[in-house]
Structures are given as structure tokens and as C-alpha cells.
Chain A
């Protein structure tokens, strides 16, 4: 019985004249990886922040297990859903283990003092993301891939049910991208619900159970399985530019490319 987080005809605008989202319905349940894709400026990150409760919808509501998210205290919310922003730059030097231990915050007492049990959980989360060997390293000296794994461990330390990630693989090479997504897949198998915003359509197609395709026109173009969403017509509509879709030679999942300009495609 996993958690369910959903938006009900949510609309949002930073300035009233230009709506970012209009009547958006999406939902994620424990056990699945939902990818949010779409061109720059289509409101993917905004949607994620609405689902986290950081932004309040202008109309509609975000519900967690049927309850309005806005009615849940922020500390309680942090024990259920964990958020990882696109770029995390610590102001101070910390070891990787200290970074992960900070994730325990919503589960600690009012003074925020971690106990032995919290250290155990932090270490377990590091093992889950294969970072326990880095525990004494200065976080600032880790590679991009190592950092993302440590940060993932730090939000797992919140012991949440739902993970919301904003482009967790934006700065990673294809090998590390696949590594992070494989990790998310594994977490979903263990019951976590995962929402991940990404620009990599091919990795998304391979690792996500469902995709939400957004367009720059403040709406959702399509949602469904990667095969249903990653089609030539839908992608061309969303990205407003011709897109080619082929098949992965091994997995058979859709592979997506922009159509070369010479083939009569991209806008000037």
C-alpha cells in the first residue's frame, strides 16, 4: 500500500499574464518511476515544486493520499516526501557522511541531535547508494557522479516514501546517468515512488514506468508508458521541432533524436 501523490487540475503562474501550468493532472504511486520530460521552460521544475508543496497552486490542489498537501505540517511532509534540487552547493565543507546524516533532520528531536541509530541509518543509506566507501571524504572533492549518489543517500536518510528529483543526472556522463537511473529503478522496486525531471529522453524511456510529456504551452501533451509517449508526433508537438524515434537495439525501448536540419526540419 504505497503512498499516492497527485495534482488535481493544478494551475500556476509566477506572473498572472503568463501561466506556467494550466489544469495539470498527474500522479505517482509507490513502486513506480515517473519521468517528467519536455522542452526548457515547459514548467517541469515548477510542477515538481508544486508537488513538493514549496509552491501553492493558483487553482486546483495537490493531494497526498487524498489529503491536501498544504494541510500537512512541513516537518511531517519531509518524512513522507524528499526533494533533491538540481544543484546543491554547500556553503561549508562537510564529509560525505555528515552530508548524509543531515538528511535525518526531519526525524530528529527539537534540538536536532542525531543518535547512534541515526548514524546507522545514514550509513545504511550510503550502502544502498554504494557510497559507504566515501564516508570520510570531503564532499566538495567528490566527482559529479559521487556527489549525486551521496545526495541521494542524504534524502533516503529522511526515510521518505516518495522521492522528487530535479534533473539528478544533468551533469553526469552517460554511464553515471544510467547508474543513477538504475538506482532509482531499484528503489522503486523496494516500494519508493519516484518523480524525476530529466532532459534525457533515452534514459527516461529506458528506466521510467511512466512519462509525463509537457509543452511550453502550459499543458501536458501526453502521459503514459514510454512507448505511448515517446512517439514522433507527440514529441514533435511538444518540442515544436521534428523528432525521429527509433528502437534501442537491445532493450527495444524508444530512442529519440532531433531530425537533422537538412532533412527539412528544425526551425531557423
Chain B
């Protein structure tokens, strides 16, 4: 069992990701001449007079950045949760973060509509705020149930998370049952997710949530290698296990809550991207974690390109991540390249 050189894998993945980013900027319903856009840029024309430049700067670029940040964050959080819970199925979504967020969004939509309010808070819509708050409420409850004196119980985290996820789903069904069809359509669309942002406000929000959390998580990579051998081994090596579990659980959840509230509960990225990368890198977290971020961002960019061009109109990106990612994941599973999990 020899390892391929980390540098080569990293270079390859980063190369593919850059290609995805350029493709994402270049592809869309309007075909754009980069040369014309460049001329407009150099001439310093206002965006109103330079439609091609406007599409690039106001639509394509923010959209690509949003996909990169959201995909990267979701993949990194998934990778962290798999290591944290020593379970190949664990992601923030497994713990109900997305379901709770979606429930929050649903409830907000209904309450706002029936009360005739269009509430906004510091520029965030009530839907976003509720999604975020509910997602955080979910993880806080789970954490309080699972925390012990010297460690955090992985099995309680998982079981409580799955239970709260089911409760959120039931809550969502109740809201749907009680609300009228017009409102349902609106909510359904949100549930499928999408990075079809316009302008930079959502990108700034995403970046403010994703980048600092990711940086702190990436700094813990070496500790996750230790945790892979069990809490006692890690403790014997000088890792403060409870502190590691607490900080990374909360940061991973917070990051996911930011993403879900901004682009909706996009599924699958957090589960499959870390496994796919792991099949290349092995479980060396100092390599696996940053590359999961890169690959997650590229994967969501790629899915977004499909969302723009495959069907007329915008296909919800959640459908694409599942249709692209699912079969690929099964392929890995059947080829026994299912990461490096000892089972």
C-alpha cells in the first residue's frame, strides 16, 4: 500500500477546479465575447452601456464565487464531521442541520405571508434568518445532549441529530399540509437550492461565514489524524479531544447553517466529495481537508453549469448534484475505492 505523492494529486485537483471556474464564468444562456467584455472594461464604460461586461460581473462571477464558497464549505464540513464522528455517513446534513434550516424557512414563509409581512433584518430576508436560526438551534440542542465531561458522545450526536432531522421533516410536512398551493410552489423552489445569486451581497455573506470557519477547521487537520485512532490515543498524544470536538462541531455546523440559509439545502456535496477525494489522497487530513474544499467548490461550479445549460430555464442545483454525484459515488463504492474506511 504505497501512497501517491500528495503534491501531484493536489496539482491535478487544483487544475481541474480552475478549469471548472473558467467554464462557469464562460458558460451561460447568453454567449458572451470575452474580448468585447475586456474592451468595455478597459474603456471604463459604465455597466449599463456594456451588457456583456455586466453579465460577467453582475451574474457569472458572483454566481461562480457563490458556488465555490458553498460547495467548498459543504465539502469541508462533511469531511470534518466524518472524521469527528468516525463515521463515513456523517455530515452536518445527517445531523439535521439542513432539515432544521428548511423547516425554519418554511415556517418563516408561511408566517410572513399570512401576517402580510415582508420582514427583513439587516438586509437578510426573514426566510434566511429563520433558516439560519433553526439550523443553529438544531446543532445546539444536539450538542447539549451529547456533551460529556471529557468528550462528546458520537453516538448521541448521530442519534439525536437524526431524530431532530426527522422532527424537522415532520414539522415541514405539517406546514405544507396547512398552507395553500401557491405558497407551496415558492417553498419547494427554495428547498431545491440554487446559487443563482445576483450581485455581491450574498457572496460577501457567504465569504464572511465560510472563509474564517474553514480556516480554523483546516488548522485542526493534524488533530483529526490522531482522532482517527480513537479519543484515548489522541488524548495520549496531547490533543484536547473535547475542545477539538466542540470547536469543530460548532464551526462546521455554523458554516453549514450560513450556506443553507444563503443558497438553500443543497444536498450530497458534503457526503460524496470528501469520499471521492479520500479515494485519491487517503486519510491524510492535512491533504484531504483542503482538497475537499477545492473539489467541493469545483463540483458545485460544475453542477451549476449543468443547471444553466442542460434544461431550458434554471434547473434546481440540488437535482444536478444528486444526478451527477450519486452514480459517481456508487461507482466508487463498487470499485471498492470507498475511501479508506476500516469496516
Contacts and interface: CB of A to CB of B under 8 A. Distances in A.
Query: Do A and B originate from a single complex?
Result: yes
Interface of A: 52, 54, 73-79, 82-85, 88-95, 98-99, 102-103, 105-106, 108, 110-113, 136-138, 140, 155, 158
Interface stretch (B52-60, B117-125, B127-135, B216-224): B216-224
B342 A93 contact: yes
Contact of B1 (A78, A91, A138): A138
Interface residues of B, number: 31
Interface in B41-83: 83
A52 B286 contact: no
Contact of A74 (B86, B228, B233, B238): B238
Nearest to B88: A91
A102 B236 contact: no
A137 B238 contact: no
Interface in B225-266: 225-226, 228-230, 232-233, 235-240
Contacts of A94: 228, 282-283, 340
Contact of A93 (B86, B238, B240, B283): B283
A252 B127 CA distance: 80
A43 to B, nearest CB: 17
B238 A111 contact: no
A94 B233 CA distance: 15
30 contacts: A54-B235, A74-B235, A74-B238, A82-B236, A83-B232, A85-B232, A89-B230, A90-B229, A91-B229, A91-B341, A91-B342, A92-B340, A93-B282, A93-B340, A95-B1, A95-B3, A102-B226, A102-B229, A105-B222, A105-B225, A105-B226, A105-B237, A105-B239, A108-B222, A111-B286, A112-B222, A113-B286, A136-B1, A136-B2, A158-B237
B150 interface: yes
B61 to A, nearest CB: 32
Contact of A85 (B233, B240, B339): B233
B79 to A, nearest CB: 12
Nearest to B218: A111
B342 to A, nearest CB: 5
Interface string B301-312: 000000000000
Contacts of A75: 238
A165 B158 CA distance: 31
Contacts of B339: 92
Contacts of A54: 150, 232, 235-236
Interface string B166-206: 00000000000000000000000000000000000000000
A90 B83 CA distance: 11
Interface of B is mostly: loop
Given A74-B235, A93-B341, A95-B3, 12 more contacts: A54-B232, A74-B239, A83-B235, A85-B230, A85-B232, A89-B230, A91-B228, A94-B340, A95-B2, A111-B219, A112-B223, A136-B1
Contacts of A88: 229-230, 233
Contacts of A92: 228, 282-283, 339-342
B285 to A, nearest CB: 9
Give me the 9 closest cross-chain CB pairs, A-B, nearest first: A112-B222, A78-B238, A92-B283, A83-B236, A75-B238, A93-B340, A91-B86, A106-B238, A138-B1
**Which of B86, B222, B282 is most buried by chain A, counting CB atoms within 10 A of its CB?**
B222
B331 to A, nearest CB: 19
Nearest to B83: A91
Nearest to A54: B235
Given A93-B340, A136-B1, A112 B286 contact: yes
Contacts of B340: 92-94
Contacts of A82: 236
A93 B1 contact: yes
A13 to B, nearest CB: 14
Contacts of A106: 237-238
A78 B219 CA distance: 20
Nearest to B222: A112
